[in-house]
Amino acid sequence: MFDNLTERLGRVVKTLRGEARLTEANIQDALREVRLALLEADVALPVVKDFIASVREKALGADVVGSLTPGQALVSVVHRELTALMGGTATPLDLAVQPPAVILLAGLQGAGKTTTAAKLARLLRAAKKNVLVVSADVYRPAAIEQLKTLAAQVGVDFFPSTADGQPVAIAEAALDWARKHYHDVLIVDTAGRLAIDEAMMREIAAIHERVKPIETLFVVDAMQGQDAVNTARAFRETLPLTGIVLTKLDGDARGGAALSVRTITQAPIKYVGVAEKIDGLEVFHPERMASRILGMGDMLSLIEEAHKNVDVAEAEKLARKVKSGKSFDLEDFRGQIGQMRKMGGLSALMDKLPAELARAAGQAQVDERRIARLEGIINSMTPAERAKPEILKASRKRRIAAGAGVSVQQVNQLLNQFEQTRQMMKMVSKGGMQKMLRGMKGMMPGLR
């Protein structure tokens, strides 16, 4: 999403190479690049002006110490200011209230409120909270059914509502039910419109007044661009917002909403939607996001994903197998693909890598469909073929290709990738880490 800004800041580092310190003269062009990149990313003009002024003030006269070049020193200042712009530190939900703690979701239609309600309920359930969800969107019966289905999917309780009900009455009834049935949290999904209108604002203000939420979260689509600023301003004037959920951060938008909405609302970004799947909601870490914008990657989040999703027992079993000298087979290869998909797929992993490493591995050519196709090919093999790939001759390859709905050439491509991976596993077992890193590209299925 922030590729353009990352690329421009990379040029800034090169432009300032050789300077002894940062001065008004040598950072003027650099800050122009930053300003243009922010504007192209749809960041609101007032936000850009304040940001550039702050960076200039902090950067002017800054000594270039240690091994830092002036360009790196400026990027360091930009990183700190980006982090401050997005809130400084992660802000958790405030649930310190007598149960049930009410969370009210507000935003325009299409911003992703209903799916966000379910994703948030899933996270709270994982934190051992007893959650109840309710839809007060009586204007879209499909939204009520959608939330009911998603609630069952994530394993939380759903309070029924109907299209002929009154939104305020529905919310009050859900709150009463939550109290009587000892729920820790009540999540209220409200109605949205295609655009701001007075009736919607009066309705959501009335719901807020009756259920008195501890958290009022503004759900905004990252792909809105400049429109997100106007929407944020309208909701801020109507509701005492306590936080923001930024959805569709995995889309093709330019990303300016992430840098604008927090400034306009003065409310912290608490969560970001990073995928359509039900587990595609993450706690927002300003410093980590700033690192990703500047091409530094987000290794902490990557490590957290690994701890959460990787099957440690399987990983240890594979490590012991390779270390003992036993051959890495297609069953192991399929397992590695499965582990990667649990972590959000290759594109999600690459997005968290530092820009240079991601580019070296071919980030621009990630194809998630190809990864699924590789799994399909391996699934079309017999257990014997997966255990001993060397028996895969022409007739077997034709059968596998027909079963997976691919060409024999694609089967051969899989086998070539597998062989590269097997060679690298041998290098690792013999301590050849540098050789493995040089051959890393061939190891990653889904890259072309």
For each of the domains in the chain, give its residue range(s) and CATH number, in order of start: 3-85 (1.20.120.140), 101-296 (3.40.50.300), 310-443 (1.10.260.30)
Return the HEC string of 322-365: HHCCCCCCHHHHHHHHHHHHHCCHHHHHHHHCCHHHHHHCCHHH
149: how many CB neighbours lie within 10 A of its CB? 11
pLDDT at 151 over 90: yes
Is residue 151 within 8 A of residue 133, CB to CB? The reply is yes
The pLDDT value recorded for residue 280 is 83
pLDDT at 188 over 90: yes
Q: What is the mean pLDDT of residues 144-158?
A: 92
Place of tokens 């204007």: 139
Q: What is the mean pLDDT of residues 58-72?
A: 60
pLDDT at 448 over 60: no
Instruction: In whole angstroms, give the CA distance from residue 303 to residue 307.
Output: 6
The DSSP-derived string for 126-176 is HTT--EEEEE--TT-HHHHHHHHHHHHHHT-EEE---TTS-HHHHHHHHHH
pLDDT band at 432 (very low <50, low <70, confident <90, very high): very low
For residues 437, 438, 440 and 446, what is the CA-based torsion angle, rounded to 10 degrees?
Answer: 160
User: How confident is the model over 69-115, as pLDDT tens digits?
Assistant: 666 677 777 778 888 887 777 788 888 888 899 999 988 888 888 99
User: CB within 8 A of 230, min separation 6: which ones?
Assistant: 196
Instruction: Give 158-166's long-range contacts (Cβ < 8 A, gap of 24+).
Output: 158/132, 158/133, 158/134, 159/132, 159/133, 159/134, 161/134, 161/135, 161/136, 162/138, 163/138, 163/139, 164/138, 165/138, 166/138
pLDDT at 215 over 70: yes
Length of the chain: 448
Average pLDDT, the chain: 75
Q: What is the mean pLDDT of residues 305-329?
A: 55
Any bridge partners for residue 157, and if so which?
Answer: 132
User: Which residue type does 309 have?
Assistant: N
For residues 243, 185, 280 and 84, what is the CA-based torsion angle, rounded to 10 degrees?
Answer: 20
Q: Is pLDDT larger for residue 18 or for residue 113?
A: 113
User: CB within 8 A of 442, min separation 6: which ones?
Assistant: 417, 420, 421, 424
Q: What percent helix, strand, coil does the chain show, rounded to 5?
A: 60, 10, 30
Percent of the chain predicted with pLDDT > 70 = 68
The pLDDT value recorded for residue 320 is 59
Place of tokens 């400084």: 88
pLDDT at 304 over 60: no
User: How confident is the model over 281-302, as pLDDT tens digits?
Assistant: 888 888 777 776 765 544 444 4
Q: Where are the alpha helices (DSSP H) in 16-140?
A: 24-40, 45-59, 70-85, 113-126
pLDDT at 303 over 50: no
pLDDT band at 427 (very low <50, low <70, confident <90, very high): low
Is residue 22 within 8 A of residue 62, CB to CB? The reply is yes
User: How confident is the model over 384-405, as pLDDT tens digits?
Assistant: 888 888 888 889 999 998 888 8
Q: What is the mean pLDDT of residues 412-429?
A: 74
The pLDDT value recorded for residue 129 is 92
User: Which residue type does 204 have?
Assistant: I
pLDDT band at 248 (very low <50, low <70, confident <90, very high): confident
Which of 62-66, 108-112, 132-136, 210-214 has the lowest average pLDDT? 62-66
Which of 139-143, 148-152, 372-376 has the lowest average pLDDT? 372-376
pLDDT band at 120 (very low <50, low <70, confident <90, very high): very high
